[in-house]
Amino acid sequence: MTHVTNAVEMRRIVKRFPGVLANDQIDFDLRPGEIHALLGENGAGKSTLMNVLAGLYRPDEGTIRVHGQAVDFHSPRDAIECGIGMVHQHFMLVPSQSVTENILLGLDEPRFLMNLPRYERRVAELAEGFGLRVDPRAKIWQLSVGEQQRVEILKMLYRGASILIMDEPTAVLAPQEIEDLFRTLRGMVAEGKSIVFISHKLGEVMQIANRITVLRKGQVTASGLKPAETTPADLARLMVGRPVLFRIEREAQEPGDVVLSIEGVSADSDKGLPALRNLSLQIRSGEIVGMAGVAGNGQRELAEVISGLRPCTEGRILVNGRVISNQPVRKAIDQGVAHVPEDRKEVGTAPGLSITHNLILKSYRHPPLARGLAVHYPTARQHAQQLKEAYDIMAPSVDTSVRFLSGGNLQRVILAREISAGPQLMIAMQPTRGLDVGAIEGVHRLLLDLRRAGAAILLVSEELDEIASLSDRIVVLYEGQIVGEVRGEMDDAMREQIGLMMTGQYKGQEAGGKGQEAGHDG
């Protein structure tokens, strides 16, 4: 094989965010005409690395060469001039404008007179050339998600992109649309484009990539693997990592009565697509059930259905024998359901309010904090002061707005609030995501204390080690269904089994395929 200049060469890229090392000395090469998958869990640094390449972030250290030339991007504009275009997970399109208008948006040409038909022809030709079926005259709001994605791709191609970065492009697509996308991507590579494909879905990556680079916690764990040389199980291991287990003392404990009972629940996602399909699960007092699964398989929807934030279309949920599904949120709170949401800033806290306010977010309605119609703020501050010390919340005072807190401290505020309420049922979503090692251990200890106190706990996490070390049993969620359950010591075989279940390739009976067999253990 002769030496070809790489389309992209990133060397020793370092990118820090306050409190987080997002990219730690990462090397990454993209060869011309290949699809290079960047695989990793959420928060592994995939998007950060590609945002650096696309000019959205500037690296703190490291060099980037594009077609052999050293570059220093100050903005996405610089990157697109070098032929690098990124298609983001969230589309940046104007719904009321047409496809062509969206593609022309921000360009210097046309200057004043639009002469749309001329540009529509050009867009149509371009689309034709790459097999991107889309009507240049259609308004964006009329298009399906898959079509909108094609518009985003066209936008980049129109700007002359030869290197295309696709950030989790399949996350929003239906299975059929994924097939179309893959065909398009292969077609583009055949035309000489190079593509970076960001994903955390093993199956897809095996299917589409020429080479695979795996990131974990900001570092490369495998670089340039060929799909033929590896297996989904290997990739899962590289992605999730070898256990760095601190052995946590988890005493044997006989679970008590059933606290949470989910009976055949189905629910829709925000987009109105089925997110949960006939899911059943029971959790007993003093029991931690770990829920493994790739993000976006219904975890968030499940947590929301239990806490009353999302209606379920079928089935029902009981806590201590009382129905809480399709009821006001307060009903669940009053039944002792605590919820540590996945999104700490958008859901879990009110950023403009003080630590005190955020700590009494749910308890302000009842004595001792409430006195008649009033909230007794001296008591609230005292309560907050105690929690601040007990949970080690680092802040100048309890009057500080929580938007100034770091991720770890924000999570402590949420945990302090939810745990101090003495819950019967705790739904902990990604409780340690983005936290440093010490903070993680603290969170784990809190969850175990809660277990000892007799709460039922549903732990949803993408960290398999975390689930393994805390849970009494593990269920695996895939496409809104529980596809399997395992218990006992985590070993390599079990890890592999879970990894396969997570990617829908192991369903007890046979591998592969998106079957629709129903009926799972509860």
Partner 1 sequence: MTGEVPVIHRRIPLPFQVRVEARIEEVPRWLPPLISLGAIGLALLIGGIVLAIVGGNPFLTYAHIARASFGSIGVFSDTLVKATPIILTGLACTVAFRMKLWNIGAEGQLFIGAFAASAVVLTPLLPAETPAPLMLTTMAVAGIAAGALWGLVPGILKARLKVNEVVTTLMMNYIAVSWNNFFIYAVWSEGGFQMSRIFPKSAWMPRLADYAGQIPAFRGLTIHLGLLLGIVAAGVLWWVLYRSKWGFEIELAGDNPNAARYAGVPIVRNTVLVMMLSGGLAGLAGMSEIAGVVHRLQGAISPGYGFTGVIVAWLAKLNPLVVVPVSILFGSLILAGREIQPSGIPKLIQGIILFCLISSETLLRYRIRFVRRRQA
Residues that bind partner 1 in the complex, under the rule CB under 8 A:
18, 72, 74, 77, 80-81, 107-109, 122, 125-126, 129, 157-160, 191-192, 307-309, 328-330, 332-333, 339, 341, 343, 346-353, 357, 360-362, 364-365, 370, 373-375, 377, 396, 400-401, 404
At 372, give phi and psi (nearest 5°).
Answer: 65, -125
Nearer to partner 1 among residue 153 and residue 206 (C-beta): 153
Nearer to partner 1 among residue 141 and residue 404 (C-beta): 404
* Residue with the two structure tokens 């590896």: 230
Asked if residue 277 lies in contact with residue 481, where contact means CB atoms within 8 angstroms, the answer is yes
Asked if residue 274 lies in contact with residue 473, where contact means CB atoms within 8 angstroms, the answer is no
Task: Please give the single-letter amino acid code of residue 118.
Answer: R
Nearer to partner 1 among residue 71 and residue 178 (C-beta): 71
Shortest Å distance, C-beta 104 to partner 1: 9
Question: What is residue 347's three-state secondary structure?
Answer: helix
Nearer to partner 1 among residue 175 and residue 192 (C-beta): 192
Nearer to partner 1 among residue 254 and residue 346 (C-beta): 346
Gap between the Cα atoms of 170 and 185, Å rounded: 12
Shortest Å distance, C-beta 328 to partner 1: 7
CA dihedral 100, 102, 108, 110 (to 10 degrees): 30
At 230, give phi and psi (nearest 5°).
Answer: -135, 175
Gap between the Cα atoms of 394 and 490, Å rounded: 35
Gap between the Cα atoms of 62 and 54, Å rounded: 15
Asked if residue 238 lies in contact with residue 41, where contact means CB atoms within 8 angstroms, the answer is no
Shortest Å distance, C-beta 160 to partner 1: 4
Nearer to partner 1 among residue 305 and residue 486 (C-beta): 305
Token pair, residue 444, equals 């784990």
Give Cα 113 distance to the centre of its chain. 43
Asked if residue 497 lies in contact with residue 256, where contact means CB atoms within 8 angstroms, the answer is no
Nearer to partner 1 among residue 33 and residue 351 (C-beta): 351
Shortest Å distance, C-beta 36 to partner 1: 21
Q: Bridge partners of 88? A: none
* Residue with the two structure tokens 């008649």: 372
Shortest Å distance, C-beta 403 to partner 1: 9
Gap between the Cα atoms of 331 and 322, Å rounded: 10
Shortest Å distance, C-beta 333 to partner 1: 5
Shortest Å distance, C-beta 72 to partner 1: 6
Nearer to partner 1 among residue 172 and residue 370 (C-beta): 370
Shortest Å distance, C-beta 343 to partner 1: 8
Indicate the pairing of strand 84-87 with strand 163-167.
Answer: parallel
Q: Enumerate the H helices of 376-436 as residue ranges.
A: 377-390, 407-420
Shortest Å distance, C-beta 375 to partner 1: 5
Indicate the pairing of strand 194-199 with strand 35-39.
Answer: parallel
Nearer to partner 1 among residue 123 and residue 498 (C-beta): 123
Nearer to partner 1 among residue 129 and residue 508 (C-beta): 129
Shortest Å distance, C-beta 487 to partner 1: 32
Q: What is the CB neighbour count within 10 angstroms for residue 254?
A: 8
